[in-house]
Structure 1
Amino acid sequence: MTGPSVPGRAAVVAGAGDGDDMDLKSMKRKATQSPRAIAGWIILGNLLVAAVLIAATLSNLAAGRADDIERAHRAADNLAHGLSIELASELRLVDNALTTVALRYLQVDGQPDREQQLDRSLQEQRLLLPFARALRIADAQGEVTHGLPPELSHYSVLQRPYFGQARQAGGTQVSEPLYSDVFNDWCIVVARRLDGVDGSFRGVVYAVLSQDHFRRLFAKLSVGEQGAISLRSGSMRLAARYSAVDPASAAGLGGQEISARLRQRLQADPQQGWYMTETALDGVERIVAYR
């Protein structure tokens, strides 16, 4: 089984508002890649999403003092760096779990106790992903066969874009932000193709990560009274957001609203940079560092 090949750009933005964020550079990866490489999954099209925005407000800076601005820039950049490592570690855990289940699926193909072994494998990996809302298997027709809660007797992911992407690409794929009717929340889905011993497509194994998980993770960081952190896809869709002003806000989720200043900076330097701007979602002026 091949490792995931995900063309992507990743970005961590530190210091500005909830509407901003960035990308990284196209890359291929194997299941053994480092957390830093996995953080760079954020992408082109609708594959992996992981741009992070950490905000530090200008209201906390002494007006006109370049040294204060520089300190805020460094602090925001350090926060972004640490958070990117943590997110990358989580994503690698998810990728490892999906890969393990996919390998197990291949090993038990055709065995009489196949269903029981798959259930056991899914349960074992689920314990390693306490932050995931769900870990499931869907068959080649998109019907979820393993991992559904008792109250759900039927559920199909056939029409979800990540299902088709995993089927076609063969590696690990990450969805654009999507709204889950099951969890009543915005989520991203990490999915991997399942193959039979003959190489045919048999379905996907996938994990669901909710915006609520990311929001609670971001809330642990000190970003100031008006600071903010955002997680965006390569197409700039907002996957998760934490704002110190309104911690429970779901404003903008799934949307693509970002500041004109961020667009300009990304065109000038998609790798790293910083700037000051009034952010798109809440109009608060902040200093932003991204990488």
Structure 2
Amino acid sequence: MTGEPPLHPDASMLNLRRMLIVFLLIISGAVLLVSAWVVVNTWQRMVNETQNDARNLSQSVARQSEDSVMQVELTLQDLRDRITLVGLDTERQPYLQALLMQRKASLPQLHGLFIYDSQGNWLVTSEGAVRQHSNNSDRAYFRYHQHNTDPGLHISEVIHSRSTGDLIIPLSMRLNNSDGSFRGVLLATLRIDYFRQIFGYYNLGERGLMALIVNNGDILYARPFPDSTINKNISESPLFTDLLKRAPSGTATYTAALDGIKRVFGYASLKRYPLVVTVGFDRKQLVHAWFTDLLVYLILCCLLMMVIFALGYFLLRNLSQNIRDQAELAQVREQLTVMNNTLQTLALVDGLTGLANRRQFDLYLDRSLERANKLRKPLALLMIDVDTFKRFNDTYGHLAGDDCLKRVGDALLRVSHRSDDLIARYGGEEFAVILPGSDREGAARFARSALEAVAALGIPHLNSDHQAKIVTISIGLHVMQGGLSESTRQALIGQADKALYQAKASGKNRMDET
């Protein structure tokens, strides 16, 4: 009987020992890699969830704040219309006073409603009798309306009420005489305690932040900070120097200007008013919560590693009794090698571009044709070729050519398409796109987008026929109706190839169809 001589028992044991050690190292490495991925992914997921919470909460509070201010604005507009209609004469003031008291009672956010004449004297208030010699002409909002004819709502900085001492936000409108001259000021004051109560409903953690800010950076109210932060200007914060300039709402992580704590922020501008709501979650608290959630997983991973090494130890100790399994292990190893080679042969992904390769393209096209014929639906095929690619390789080299193909493949992937569309590298500098169920218009739309996407890359190509000397593509398109006898792979590819050559012959950087 012929064959390889049996391994010496000591040599067999040594080989198995090496294999087992390698196996343990691989398993340990895999566990560590998976653990690292879980750690990073868990943190990123927590940050994303926190950003979503901050964004949603800021938008919700912004809408609530906007509704509160809008109710006051509508009330002031109605009062101004009534004043214009009935006047401010002494006999009309009891009626206006009752109206102000009624409106204040209907809006919980109001601290008070006031009417001043052109000299700043109190005429009517929602508090009842007017105090003698009361004058507010020194207030910033009064001086603003004296010198500005803007009829809209004006939001001033937070002040202390002279009647109660409470912190209030003045919302005011100008009153005009019939000739447009200054008649006085109509004032509504919002209670800071109203926003203190609203903001207090939300659990942001010990160092969470929620603030209502004027878009010039002046703070109207910030939780959980003392009232001394009110009217403080934080216009140097990234919120005002960068974020609001890019978008009216969003999320970002930065260091708060108020206390220097790094937070995950969400922010939202009010649509009708120059106000911004921002919500921030303390990043250190996020790290603590993340580590707490992850601690059990890490302990389990350590236990798993201990189990793996314990099993390895017992296996090594019993190797002397399992030498005869060496031949079977070699056979299994050979089968695994064959299976691995088979899997590599059957790989369906192009190694350069990451797109589907030719084999996957052929399989998917056959399946799509079968489905199109069965359901009698159209099937579109685009054959795409990089223009003058040989010249590109000759000019810039094959490494640059490979990079060019990868960028073209990425551009095709970014073109809007459905989940059942397939974008493949057909071979060399040629690509193909299968669009199941797509009519001619939809396929042409994809082709035009692909032309624009590749041209937008702006890849330099000095020997290109294109005027801009950049890399371009040409596309051949054919749409085949399902259920026809000539609906075969060869016919579809042939027609699309024909259209591609027509596009090439017509000047490149274009789409043609048959």
Aligned pair partner of 2:187 in 188, 206, 210:
206
The one-letter code matched in structure 2 to 1:121 is L
| Matched AA of 1:137 | I
2:169 is matched with which residue?
A: 188
What letter matches 1:92 in structure 2?
A: M
Tell me if 1:132 matches 2:113: no
Output the amino acid matched with 1:164.
Answer: R
Distance 1:259 1:285 in 2: 15
Tell me the CA shift for residue 286 of structure 1.
1.1
The reply on whether 1:165 has 2:144 as its aligned counterpart is: yes
* Structure-to-structure mapping, 1:110-125, within 5 angstroms: 113-125=91-103
Change (3 A) 1:289 1:195: same
Larger strand share, 1 or 2: 1
CA RMSD across the alignment:
2.6
Relative to structure 1, the CA distance from residue 263 to residue 172 in structure 2 (aligned partners, 3 Å threshold; closer, same or farther) is closer
Q: Partners in 1 of 2:136 and 2:164 — Cα distance?
A: 14
CA distance in 1, matches of 2:223, 2:109: 17
Following superposition, the deviation at residue 122 of structure 1 comes to: 1.5
Q: CA 1:111 to 1:203, structure 2 compared with 1: closer, same or farther past 3 Å?
A: closer
Question: Is 130-139 or 161-170 further displaced after alignment?
Answer: 161-170
Alpha-carbon distance in structure 2 between the residues aligned to 1:141 and 1:268: 40
1:290 match: 267
Indicate if the aligned counterparts of 1:239 and 1:253 stay in contact, CA closer than 8 A: yes
Question: Is 1:156 aligned with 2:135?
Answer: yes
Distance 1:113 1:185, change over 3 A: closer
1:95 aligns with 2:76: no
Matches within 5 A, 1:252-267: 252-257=229-234, 260-266=237-243
Q: Which has the larger radius of gyration?
A: 2
- Show the counterpart of 1:37: none
Contact kept in structure 1, 2:55 and 2:250, CA below 8 Å = no
For residue 257 of structure 1, report the CA deviation from its aligned partner: 3.4
1:158 partner amino acid: S
Cα distance in 1 between the residues matched to 2:169 and 2:66 = 14
Aligned-partner residue type, residue 280 of structure 1:
A
Give the Cα–Cα distance (whole angstroms) in 1 for the partners of residues 157 and 60 of structure 2: 23
Counterpart of 1:176?
157
The yes-or-no answer on 1:65 pairing with 2:67 is no
The one-letter code sitting in structure 1 at the alignment partner of 2:234 is E
Verify: 1:240 aligned to 2:218, yes or no: no
SS at 1:82 equivalent? helix
- After superposition, the Cα gap between the structure-2 partners of 1:264 and 1:146, relative to the gap in structure 1 and judged at 3 Å, is closer
Identity over aligned residues, as a percent? 24
Residues 75/131 of structure 1: CA separation in 2 closer, same or farther (3 Å cut): same
CA–CA distance in structure 2, aligned partners of residues 238 and 117 of structure 1 = 37
Give the Cα separation in 2 of the matches to 1:252 and 1:214. Answer: 15
Counterpart code for 1:135: L
Query: Would you say the 8 A contact 1:218–1:229 is kept in 2?
Result: yes
Give secondary structure in 2 for the equivalent of 1:133.
Answer: strand
Letter in 2 for 1:212: D
Q: CA deviation at 1:137?
A: 0.6
Tell me the TM-score normalised to structure 2 length.
Answer: 0.41
Question: Where in structure 1 are there 5+ consecutive unaligned residues?
Answer: 1-61
Which structure's relative contact order is higher, taking Cα pairs within 8 Å and 6+ residues apart? 1
Name the structure 1 match of 2:122: 144
- What are the Cα deviations for residues 76-105 of structure 1, in whole angstroms up to 9, with x where unaligned? 111111111111111111011111111111
Question: Is 190-199 or 73-82 further displaced after alignment?
Answer: 190-199
Check 1:268–1:109 CA distance in 2 against 1; reply closer, same or farther (3 A cut).
closer
- Residue pair 2:123, 2:130 contacting (<8 A) in 1 also: no
- 1:226 alignment partner in structure 2: 207
Structure 1 residues 127 and 210: CA distance shift in structure 2, 3 A: closer
Deviation at 1:260, TM superposition (A): 4.3
Residues 186 and 253 in structure 1, CA contact (< 8 A), matched pair in contact too: no
Q: Which whole-Å CA distance do the structure 2 matches of 1:259 and 1:71 have between them?
A: 27
Structure 2 unpaired stretches of 5+: 1-38, 269-514
Give the TM-score, by structure 1 length: 0.69
CA contact (8 A) 1:231 1:241 kept: yes
What's the counterpart of residue 258 of structure 2?
Answer: 281
Q: Which AA in structure 2 matches 1:165? A: Y
On the 8 A contact 2:97/2:128 being kept in 1, the answer is no
Q: Is the 8 A contact 1:187 1:239 kept in 2?
A: no
- The amino acid across from 2:252 in the alignment is Y
Assess if the C-alpha contact under 8 Å between 1:139 and 1:145 holds in 2. yes
- The equivalent of 1:39 in structure 2 is none
SS of match in other structure, 2:212: strand
Q: Deviations over 1:193-251 (max 9, x none)?
A: 223445443211111113222111110122223211111112211111112xx6xx224
State the 1:110 CA deviation: 7.3
